[in-house]
């Protein structure tokens, strides 16, 4: 009972995972999603969702080992008190983390570390955190593991994923970093007192985590099966954590992001059902059929607009059949759905996670924070998508 004698009001709506789970079950059972379509959809998306689970566990174990805090703290000292150097180091760390551990990992685990470092050196954390947000999305083109959309698309590339996507991925990052440097120029001025080195709670576990992440990234880049590589990393880090008797930051049951998996599966089921009832025929005229510069820009623009309208995962799944069989057009779609979803808060899961983490660690008002993120996205998204398409055209 509250002080007024009233009971707290119960939520009127169930958690989002509840209707998502119902959709996953009901759509195939009722035949709205035909059995053949359901099996094909499961074969495509189940490995992706499994990878999400494994990589989230890796990220949580790395955070427990102090890896992200150590990297951010090292960046503050390596910058030698220069704010501009600290900003570029944060950008480099955000890019590397996104490429190797995925955009969602960057949003969840690097954001609090960056906020903590900014406070230690007496700087405004928002410009650094906004940089993390932008690069969590736009740096997610290089490897299949960097983004769930890439994982779904990778088997469809006849010429190999990395060979097609390396140039647009590099172009996007270079242009985005340059644009962010201009946008946040006032925050890059000045100096700060170099903080003292922080000793890790367990230096041995920290070194093990660093080695595992480097080896995992090498395995991803070498094209080894991503599920096996991620599973090996989970086993290695879990064993090391138990050996060192290190405390976990979250309970084991909370390490598995089952709610995210269920909601994502629900989105996949809905889009798969739409496809079974003619969605491809509706979308095909929007993306055209050519592979010239204008046609590639059209594909990317539709992908980016769809991602900002609904979310990048269902946007990719809905549009992928319209570019099937053409590596360049598929690459253009990835540029749109990976680098474009920066304008609306729901455009990517990473953005929602970033908002949650930043507010949790700074107690910021949501309205002003969303406005700053949207303003940055309106400027950066077109530049990022344009850079990726230009690289595809020049490289082709």
Question: Worst-scoring range by mean pLDDT, 198-207, 312-321, 359-368?
Answer: 359-368
Does 202 fall in a domain? yes
Residues 6+ apart with CB under 8 A from 114: 72, 90, 125, 128, 129, 132
Query: Could you list the residue range(s) of the whole structural domain that residue 99 is in?
Result: 44-395
Query: What is the number of other CB atoms lying within 10 angstroms of the CB of residue 49?
Result: 19
pLDDT of residue 88: 93
* Cα–Cα nearest to 335, from 305, 372, 373: 305
pLDDT tens-digit profile of 75-91?
888 888 899 999 999 99
Over residues 317-321, mean pLDDT? 88
* 337 pLDDT higher than 90: yes
Whether this prediction's pTM lies above 0.85 is answered by no
Conformational region of residue 194, where left means phi above 0, alpha means psi within -120 to 50, and beta covers everything else: beta
* 169 pLDDT higher than 50: yes
In order of 169, 221, 308, the CA distances from 305 in angstroms are 19, 30, 5
Spatial contact of 186 and 35, defined as CB atoms under 8 Å apart: no
* 10 pLDDT higher than 70: no
* 6 pLDDT higher than 60: no
Does 54 fall in a domain? yes
> Which of the given ranges, 158-162, 214-218, 240-244, 306-310, has the highest pLDDT on average?
240-244
Does 35 fall in a domain? no
Spatial contact of 321 and 280, defined as CB atoms under 8 Å apart: yes
pLDDT of residue 9: 42
Over residues 332-352, mean pLDDT? 92
* 50 pLDDT higher than 90: no
> Rounded to whole angstroms, how far apart are CA atoms 32 and 335?
31
pLDDT of residue 352: 81
What confidence tier does 1 reach under pLDDT thresholds 50, 70, 90? very low
Over residues 29-54, mean pLDDT? 87
Does 37 fall in a domain? no
* 349 pLDDT higher than 50: yes
Compare 194 and 365 and report the one with higher pLDDT: 194
Does 171 fall in a domain? yes
Does 333 fall in a domain? yes
Does 3 fall in a domain? no
Spatial contact of 130 and 372, defined as CB atoms under 8 Å apart: yes
pLDDT of residue 200: 82
* 3 pLDDT higher than 50: no
Cα of 30 vs its chain's centroid, Å: 33
* Cα–Cα nearest to 221, from 229, 212, 232: 229
Query: What's the number of domains the chain is made of?
Result: 1
CB-count exposure of residue 339 (10 Å: 0-12, 13-18, 19+): buried
pLDDT of residue 396: 67
> Which of the given ranges, 155-169, 308-322, 373-387, has the highest pLDDT on average?
373-387
Give the whole-number percent of the chain exceeding pLDDT 90: 41
Q: What is the mean pLDDT of the chain?
A: 87
Compare 44 and 90 and report the one with higher pLDDT: 90
> Rounded to whole angstroms, how far apart are CA atoms 149 and 169?
14
Does 1 fall in a domain? no
pLDDT of residue 382: 97
pLDDT of residue 4: 42
* Cα–Cα nearest to 270, from 18, 28, 36: 28
* 7 pLDDT higher than 70: no
> Rounded to whole angstroms, how far apart are CA atoms 291 and 39?
31
User: What per-residue string of b and e applies to 176-210 under the rule 16 or more CB within 10 Å gives b?
Assistant: bbebbeebbeebbeeebeeeeeeebebeebbebbe
What confidence tier does 367 reach under pLDDT thresholds 50, 70, 90? low
Phi, psi torsion values for 197, nearest 5 degrees: -65, 135
3-state SS record for the chain: CCCCCCCCCCCCCCCCHHHHHHHHHHHHHHCCCCHHHHHHHHHHHHHHHHHHHHHHHHHHHHHHCCHHHHHHHHHHHHCCCEHHHHHHHHHHHHHHHHHHHCHHHHHHHHHHHHHHHHHHCCCCHHHHHHHHHHHHHHCCCCCHHHCHHHHHHHHHCCCCHHHHHHHHHHHHHHHHHHHHHHHCHHHHCCECCCCCCCCCCCHHHHHHHHHHHHHHHHHHHCCCCHHHHHHHHHHHHHHHHHHCCCCCCCCHHHHCCHHHHHHHHHHHHHHHHHHHCCHHHHHHHHHCCCCCHHHHHHHHHHHHHHHHHCCHHHHHHHHHHHHCCCHHHHHHHHHHHHHCCCCCCCCCHHHHHHHHHHHHHHCCCHHHHHHHHHHHHHHHHHHHHHHHHHHHHHHC
pLDDT of residue 8: 41
Residues 6+ apart with CB under 8 A from 384: 138, 172, 175, 176, 179, 339, 340, 342
* 16 pLDDT higher than 50: yes
* 324 pLDDT higher than 70: yes
Give the whole-number percent of the chain exceeding pLDDT 70: 95
What confidence tier does 139 reach under pLDDT thresholds 50, 70, 90? very high
What confidence tier does 387 reach under pLDDT thresholds 50, 70, 90? very high
* Cα–Cα nearest to 110, from 162, 71, 61, 82: 71
Over residues 180-191, mean pLDDT? 90
* 236 pLDDT higher than 90: yes
pLDDT of residue 119: 82
pLDDT of residue 101: 82
Over residues 173-196, mean pLDDT? 90
């Amino acid at each position: 009972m509250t002080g007024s004698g009233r009971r707290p009001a119960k939520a009127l709506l169930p958690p989002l995972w509840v209707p998502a789970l119902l959709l996953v079950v009901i759509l195939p059972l009722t035949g709205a999603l035909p059995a053949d379509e359901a099996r094909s959809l499961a074969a495509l998306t189940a490995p992706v969702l499994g990878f999400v689970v494994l990589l989230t566990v890796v990220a949580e174990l790395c955070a427990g080992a102090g890896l992200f805090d150590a990297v951010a703290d090292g960046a503050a000292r390596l910058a030698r008190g220069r704010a501009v150097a600290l900003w570029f180091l944060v950008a480099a760390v955000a890019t590397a983390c996104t490429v190797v551990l995925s955009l969602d990992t960057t949003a969840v685990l690097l954001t609090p570390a960056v906020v903590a470092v900014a406070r230690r050196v007496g700087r405004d954390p928002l410009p650094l955190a906004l940089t993390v947000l932008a690069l969590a999305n736009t740096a997610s083109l290089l490897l299949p593991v960097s983004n769930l959309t890439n994982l779904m698309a990778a088997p469809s590339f006849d010429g190999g994923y990395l060979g097609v996507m390396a140039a647009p991925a590099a172009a996007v990052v270079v242009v985005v970093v340059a644009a962010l440097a201009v946008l946040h120029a006032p925050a890059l001025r000045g100096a700060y007192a170099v903080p003292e080195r922080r000793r890790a709670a367990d230096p041995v576990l920290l070194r093990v985590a660093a080695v595992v992440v480097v080896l995992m990234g090498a395995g991803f880049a070498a094209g080894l099966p991503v599920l096996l590589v991620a599973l090996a990393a989970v086993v290695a880090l879990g064993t090391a954590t138990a050996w060192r008797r290190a405390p976990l930051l979250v309970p084991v049951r909370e390490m598995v992001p089952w709610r995210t998996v269920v909601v994502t599966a629900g989105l996949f089921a809905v889009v798969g059902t739409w496809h079974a009832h003619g969605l491809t025929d509706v979308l095909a005229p929007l993306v055209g059929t050519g592979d010239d510069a204008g046609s590639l820009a059209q594909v990317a623009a539709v992908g980016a607009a769809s991602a900002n309208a609904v979310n990048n995962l269902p946007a990719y799944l809905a549009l992928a059949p319209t570019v099937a069989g053409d590596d360049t057009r598929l690459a253009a779609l990835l540029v749109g759905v990976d680098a474009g979803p920066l304008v609306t808060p729901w455009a990517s899961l990473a953005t929602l996670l970033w908002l949650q983490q930043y507010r949790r660690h700074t107690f910021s008002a949501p309205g002003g924070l969303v406005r700053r993120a949207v303003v940055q996205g309106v400027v950066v998204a077109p530049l990022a998508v344009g850079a990726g398409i230009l690289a595809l055209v020049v490289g082709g």
